[in-house]
Structure 1
Amino acid sequence: MTRILIVTPNWIGDCVAAQPLFMRLAQRRPDAVIDALAPPWVAPALQAMPQIRKVISNPFGHGAFDPVGRWKLARSLAGEYDEAYVLPNSWKSALIPLFAGIPVRVGFVGEARYGVINRAHCLDKQALPLQVERYAQLAEAPGQALQRPLPNPELAREPAAIAATLAKYGLAAEPRPVVFCPGAEYGPAKRWPEKHYAELARRLASQGQPVWILGSKKDAPVSAAIVQQSGGAALDLCGRTSLGEAISLIAHARYAVTNDSGLMHVAAALGTPLVALFGSSSPNYTPPLSEQAAVIWLKLPCSPCFKRECPLGHLDCLNKITPDSVEEQARKLLAQGGHA
């Protein structure tokens, strides 16, 4: 039996994008057990992956060093694993597998990690344009080409978990909702305007279609603005649900409308039909990996700029995506056999 530890990224979407790596490792070594060392806020996404046996809490947030704390955690893992896959590129993210004495430590060279990583890959961004491909490359021997095609991420959600979440919040199971995910941790240049979400919510409500808004506490000002501008046409659940509960509600949705965010990748991996809205970022790098996903990206000359805020001050890349176009894409998805 091969015991594998995955040091995961700190972001939900990145963890979902890493699942094809876990799938490939499990396929090639059926006797392997795979555990994840992950921040607590991404753990529910990993727990929904059949390939992951357990999640070990990684308390060191982005930017935190704490060498003593890392040493103590590493020593608690000593002797437990044969291989480690370090997905973040930072030097400090590779220290725990080193301190734990894990014999094989796999990752990209990153921040001068020679020796810290001892099965080192050099990243060829042109050969591996997608983030999901870059993670999956680590399953190959260094220098060996990625074996394609890759499987899409697939999160599992039990009907009992969905029913329990609906009951906890007093939500009706039917009709299934349209879920809005209007947040974007990276910044406002990735957020479709609140006025557009509000207009779409009003239209859906006039058709008798429930609309639920999901996101973190940080997204609460955005969701509150949507509710206010829509005249109460949407139910605001931002900051009220855990990530695990949000996953259940997205799994239950008729379809989702999302910015380029972690919950976009969750919806795709659940197989929920979704309309994904891209502005400052690019679906050529982090697309929703699902046959039930429609991407709207205007491809303006100024995008993708990958900025947190629009450097030109107009945010045309998202302002010019109309509620009409989103509604049209949703209709096409459902006509092709989505959850509806």
Structure 2
Amino acid sequence: MNIVQILPALDSGGVETGTVDLARALVQKGHRAVVISGGGRLVAQLEKSGVKHYALPVHRKNPWSIFTQVRKVARILRDERADLVHARSRVPGWIAYFASRMAGVRFVTTCHGWYNARGFSTCMAWGARVIVASSSIGRHMTEDFGVPVENIRLIPRGVDLKGFTWRGPRIPNPHGPVVGVIGRITPLKGHEVLIRALGLIARKMPGLQVKIVGTAPRGKEKYERGLRDLAARLGLGPLVKFLGDRDDVPRILEGLDALVVPTKVPEAFGRVVIEAQAVGVPVIASRVGGLAEIIEDGRTGLLVSPEDPEELAKRIQELVSDPELIRIIVTAARKKVETEYTLDLMVDRTLEVYEEVLGGETIALFKMSALGDVILATPSIRMLRTQYPKARLVLVTEPGYGSLFSACPYLDEVMTFDKKRRGRSLKALGSFSEELRKRHIDMSVDLQNNTLTHVLAFLSGAPKRYGYRRKVTGRLLNKGIGGFKRVLPPVDHQFEVLRAAGVETLDPRLELWTRPEDGSAIDRFLEGEWTGKDPVLIGVHIGASGRWASKRWPAEYFAELGDLVANRLGARVVLTGDRSEMGEAQKLALKMKTKPIIAVGKTHLTELVELIRRFHVFVCGDSAPLHVAATVGTPLVALFGPTDPKRHMPPGDGHRVLYTGIECSPCYQTVCPKKHHKCLRDIMPEQVLRVVEELLTRKGKIRNSNLEIRNKSEIRNTK
């Protein structure tokens, strides 16, 4: 693997040390490691270990600086052929996120602190995996930033035990106890709390010394001067030593009787705590954030309330005056470090995250509507899964079709977007796009190819966006392809997009997935209609798309066909349609002399699939149930008029198409422009009956038929 880490600077601190440790370990394990930062005193140490360093001002919060650094970092990612970029702070996080999109590189973050849940910190939630050093930070990222729990990875920081040698319980210092605090000097770290606590006990503990290791960040020097003044006012000037930044932290720790971490706010972890525990120094820390997870009060350290000098003074006195307590604490703490907080464990866990992220892409497939077209997308779903077996596959569709995929074995997730209610709202579009970005889409495949899906694909942040470029928004598909002048079957038409996305083999088989309870519901429904044992069922779909009046076969033809099927073939007719067509079904039943089974509006989507599966033949116009029947293998008699069966007939063997092919057809008009509707009116019920009988005969359901097919030119096989 080739891993790039990016952080503001490489000066002292737990984040910086952890970055260097990880980079060195990656090189030792045979990987390539690159670090981008604003520079610092740890750079020489880093480069000495064989890690490449790029010095860029990735710490500046100026928007223009961030903008200019994005392209520079993207160029580094390409030049270094990076597999993954790992951001460890917010400004570098913004830069790395957009650079990773430009370079097509995976993006991971580590959250090292408690962030404000809005605005500038949001980029830390955008990693394909968000690494946290403690459970408290993990909860913070899920509850305040909405990071899915499955994207959080808990990896505590680790200490190199070779560099922090176990000294055992320290023999009491005859000159007085030495207490230390190590870390960046800022108001949040609580140095003044420690100084005030020492002011309460200095006279009771002769020889007491305090060592403060670290410096204030640039621009915060005033705070450090204030600490010196505070120590002087409390009469502690000679006892408090400011040592500045030090590279010999292990040696400093060996000379301490106790380490104090008086931070005021929750911290992600506290690396210096486990370093002290590795050496054998007892720790007293504030009961906040990750510190309360590292330290078991009274067993591996002592915890105190933050910003409470009196309690801190009491615990310091208690600890340094009790050798047995020290022995218990340091022994248990060292054992815990050896089992939970070693550098090797941290490196191995981080490598597992990298391998997990690089092991499989996340692919978003857009197919919003309509039902028939959604069904025609099922081969594409299967082909993508076959080509990308380790990928996370997410389907984006409309709410009415989500249930159709609840049992689909190829999908990891179905997301629904109601374009009728939400699509007109920019706020709703932005909210849904944010949900898409949380999935860290690597590749989008647009099978809808309209303005909405082009925009959603772009807003998802997917670096590779495939589909047919249509209209102006087609330019948002950076991997889009042009249309074809020749007419292609629907699945073949989709396959051209899949081919561009890396799918190698066309497999046009349609699939649908139901649950056992769907079949049971249909069995109960048919039993309630007194169908008897092993009935011959002929499905007749009376509906069509609400705006496609031109696709509807005349109602009187349906009634005549129903009676012909019942009287001549002895079969039961089952009428299907959606809820809006219930009134039409009742009127049609009144026109019939035989009694049909009315299933119109009585099934939900997956139950309809099971109902159509039970038909011996299904008569249907160019509508969604046509594709359902083709998918489940029910023989079809398809009635086409204003649309072209070459473009819309689903694949499958043994189906029949009735299509007059008159001069004005296909017109693709929702209402017949010539008012005669001859393309469908010229398909007579007797013709349909003969085709139904032929299909039944092939299934062995009719013997010694008295009917014959007199005009085979009327029947076209779409085999």
When normalised by structure 1's length, the TM-score is 0.90
What secondary structure is seen at the aligned counterpart in 1 of 2:646? Answer: coil
- 2:645 matched residue in structure 1: 283
What secondary structure is seen at the aligned counterpart in 2 of 1:295? Answer: strand
Amino acid at match of 1:45: L
- 1:16 matched residue in structure 2: 375
What secondary structure is seen at the aligned counterpart in 2 of 1:285? Answer: helix
Distance 1:255 1:197 in 2: 15
Distance 2:584 2:391 in 1: 43
Q: Decide whether aligned partners of structure 1 residues 22 and 88 sit closer, same or farther in structure 2, where only a CA change above 3 A counts.
A: same
8 Å Cα contact 1:108-1:122 kept in structure 2: yes
Match of 2:499 among 132, 140, 159: 140
8 Å Cα contact 2:387-2:504 kept in structure 1: no
Structure with bigger helix share is 2
- 1:32 matched residue in structure 2: 391
Q: Who wins on radius of gyration, i.e. which is larger? A: 2
Deviates more, 1:276-285 or 1:132-141: 132-141
Match of 1:302 among 664, 667, 676: 664
8 Å Cα contact 2:564-2:689 kept in structure 1: no
What secondary structure is seen at the aligned counterpart in 2 of 1:250? Answer: helix
Deviates more, 1:85-94 or 1:252-261: 85-94
Matched, 1:90 2:450: yes
- 1:266 matched residue in structure 2: 628
Deviates more, 1:110-119 or 1:293-302: 110-119
Match of 2:697 among 327, 335, 339: 335
Q: Decide whether aligned partners of structure 1 residues 62 and 339 sit closer, same or farther in structure 2, where only a CA change above 3 A counts.
A: farther
- 2:521 matched residue in structure 1: 164
Deviates more, 1:294-303 or 1:205-214: 205-214
What secondary structure is seen at the aligned counterpart in 2 of 1:93? Answer: helix
Q: Decide whether aligned partners of structure 1 residues 315 and 251 sit closer, same or farther in structure 2, where only a CA change above 3 A counts.
A: same
Distance 1:275 1:315 in 2: 19
Q: How far did 1:150 drift?
A: 4.0
Q: Decide whether aligned partners of structure 1 residues 41 and 112 sit closer, same or farther in structure 2, where only a CA change above 3 A counts.
A: same
Tell me the alpha carbon deviations over residues 68-114 of structure 1, each in whole angstroms, 9 at most, x when there is no partner.
10111121222412211122222222223322322222111112135
8 Å Cα contact 1:157-1:251 kept in structure 2: no
What secondary structure is seen at the aligned counterpart in 1 of 2:628? Answer: helix
1:49-88 to 2 correspondence within 5 Å?
49-61=408-420, 64-80=423-439, 81-88=441-448
Q: How far did 1:47 drift?
A: 3.8
Match of 1:202 among 558, 563, 575: 563
Q: Decide whether aligned partners of structure 1 residues 87 and 65 sit closer, same or farther in structure 2, where only a CA change above 3 A counts.
A: farther
8 Å Cα contact 1:194-1:225 kept in structure 2: no
Matched, 1:130 2:492: no
Match of 1:191 among 552, 575, 578: 552
Matched, 1:174 2:531: no
Distance 1:47 1:152 in 2: 19
Q: Decide whether aligned partners of structure 1 residues 339 and 289 sit closer, same or farther in structure 2, where only a CA change above 3 A counts.
A: farther
Q: How far did 1:115 drift?
A: 4.9
Amino acid at match of 2:444: A
What secondary structure is seen at the aligned counterpart in 1 of 2:458? Answer: helix
Distance 1:66 1:165 in 2: 39
Q: Decide whether aligned partners of structure 1 residues 338 and 252 sit closer, same or farther in structure 2, where only a CA change above 3 A counts.
A: farther
Amino acid at match of 1:307: Q
Amino acid at match of 2:430: W
- 1:110 matched residue in structure 2: 470
8 Å Cα contact 1:6-1:37 kept in structure 2: yes
Amino acid at match of 2:641: G
Distance 1:56 1:287 in 2: 28
What secondary structure is seen at the aligned counterpart in 2 of 1:137? Answer: helix
**Percentage of identical aligned residues:** 25
Matched, 1:234 2:596: yes
Q: Decide whether aligned partners of structure 1 residues 273 and 50 sit closer, same or farther in structure 2, where only a CA change above 3 A counts.
A: farther
Deviates more, 1:46-55 or 1:193-202: 46-55
- 2:511 matched residue in structure 1: 154
Q: How far did 1:232 drift?
A: 5.3
What secondary structure is seen at the aligned counterpart in 1 of 2:647? Answer: coil
8 Å Cα contact 2:376-2:627 kept in structure 1: yes
Q: Decide whether aligned partners of structure 1 residues 184 and 51 sit closer, same or farther in structure 2, where only a CA change above 3 A counts.
A: same
Distance 2:515 2:534 in 1: 18
What secondary structure is seen at the aligned counterpart in 2 of 1:284? Answer: helix
Aligned Cα root-mean-square deviation (Å): 2.5
Greater relative contact order structure (CA < 8 Å, 6+ sep): 1
Tell me the alpha carbon deviations over residues 258-302 of structure 1, each in whole angstroms, 9 at most, x when there is no partner.
011011111111111110000111101101322131100011112
8 Å Cα contact 1:272-1:292 kept in structure 2: no
Amino acid at match of 1:108: Y
Distance 1:339 1:43 in 2: 36
User: Which consecutive residues of structure 1, in runs of 5 or more, have no partner in the other structure?
Assistant: none
Distance 1:187 1:115 in 2: 31
Tell me the alpha carbon deviations over residues 115-156 of structure 1, each in whole angstroms, 9 at most, x when there is no partner.
521211111131x522222222111128x9x97754221223
When normalised by structure 2's length, the TM-score is 0.44
What secondary structure is seen at the aligned counterpart in 2 of 1:123? Answer: coil
Distance 1:225 1:304 in 2: 30
Deviates more, 1:8-17 or 1:215-224: 215-224
Distance 2:384 2:700 in 1: 30
